[in-house]
Amino acid sequence: MVNKNVISKLSDRELEKYIEPDSRSVSNAVKYAYEILQERGRTFTPSETARIEALIAKKNDSEKVVDEGWDKGLTEDVNAIELYTNTLIWMLSVIFGVFFGGVLQVLNFIKIKNIKGAVITAFYSIIYIGIQLVIINYIRNNYPEMSQNIFYVNFILSGIGATGLFFIRQQMFPNNLQYRAKSSIVPLIASLGISIALFYLL
């Protein structure tokens, strides 16, 4: 979410970067920068005004498309907060387990200072992992003929768990929050490393 008061503290030179043709800022940031420059006495030619208004309109259209996608609020604005995407959280939850996706979601909630969301996600992840382990062990002990297909059962259960994380995120994340995608390299490497270690230890 873009705060006009924050942008108003920037210098004219910094504001000019927001309205450049190749600006990566979101539409509201461009709009606020344009308005603040006008308030400070900056005059724009008709061609500059048309270009800036077209830039704002174009960004508005593109942002509407993003809002309809899997990662609502995802933007390329360099000033936006960095968070792990819902796509990454879903992928790690399904492939490696709800624990890994849950950790990223907890970190996201902490980053936006939503402690309630972080606590609910943590409790959900712990409880779901426990239930998943009970189901897996029950199948192994009572239906040994299904042991060779336990991977698929685990995969399905992880998918269901990931859906729960997605529901929590949808309910507790601010609707107007815009964020940049945080790098997925460290979570992917950590998840893979921990999963390999657990495979050999258990």
Give the Cα separation of 51 and 182 in Å (integer). 31
Q: Which of 19, 43, 67 is the last residue of a domain?
A: 67
Q: For residue 70, what is the DSSP state?
A: S
pLDDT tens profile 173-189: 887 788 888 999 999 99
Give the Cα separation of 4 and 39 in Å (integer). 13
Q: Which domain holds residue 10?
A: 4-67
The reply to whether 160 and 123 lie within a common domain is: yes
**Average pLDDT rounded to a whole number, residues 104-118:** 96
Is 74 a member of any domain?
A: no
The neighbouring-strand residues paired with 179 are: 74, 81
Is 76 a member of any domain?
A: no
> Out of 31-35, 106-110, 152-156, 164-168, which region has the weakest mean confidence (pLDDT)?
152-156
The reply to whether 184 and 94 lie within a common domain is: yes
SS (H, E, C) 87-146: HHHHHHHHHCCHHHHHHHHHHHHHHCCCHHHHHHHHHHHHHHHHHHHHHHHHHHHHCHHH
**Average pLDDT rounded to a whole number, residues 131-139:** 91
The reply to whether 48 and 98 lie within a common domain is: no
The reply to whether 14 and 48 lie within a common domain is: yes
Higher pLDDT, 174 or 2: 174
Angle in degrees, CA 200, 143, 156, rounded to 5: 65
Is 140 a member of any domain?
A: yes
The reply to whether 44 and 126 lie within a common domain is: no
Give the Cα separation of 169 and 84 in Å (integer). 12
The reply to whether 63 and 93 lie within a common domain is: no
| Highest mean pLDDT pick, 77-81, 130-134, 177-181, 198-202 | 130-134
**Average pLDDT rounded to a whole number, residues 66-91:** 79
> Out of 19-28, 38-47, 138-147, which region has the weakest mean confidence (pLDDT)?
138-147
The reply to whether 121 and 162 lie within a common domain is: yes
CB proximity list for 190: less than 8 A, separation 6 or greater:
100
Is 75 a member of any domain?
A: no
Residue 96 structure tokens: 């490696």
The reply to whether 147 and 191 lie within a common domain is: yes
The pLDDT value given to residue 11:
93
The reply to whether 62 and 127 lie within a common domain is: no
**Average pLDDT rounded to a whole number, residues 100-116:** 96
CB atoms within 10 A of CB 148: 8
The reply to whether 95 and 153 lie within a common domain is: yes
The pLDDT value given to residue 69:
64
Is 11 a member of any domain?
A: yes
Is 73 a member of any domain?
A: no
The reply to whether 90 and 140 lie within a common domain is: yes
Share of the chain above pLDDT 70, in %: 94
Find the length of the chain: 202
CB proximity list for 57: less than 8 A, separation 6 or greater:
27
The reply to whether 85 and 183 lie within a common domain is: yes
Residue 93 structure tokens: 């939850």
Structural domains in the chain (count): 2
Is 51 a member of any domain?
A: yes
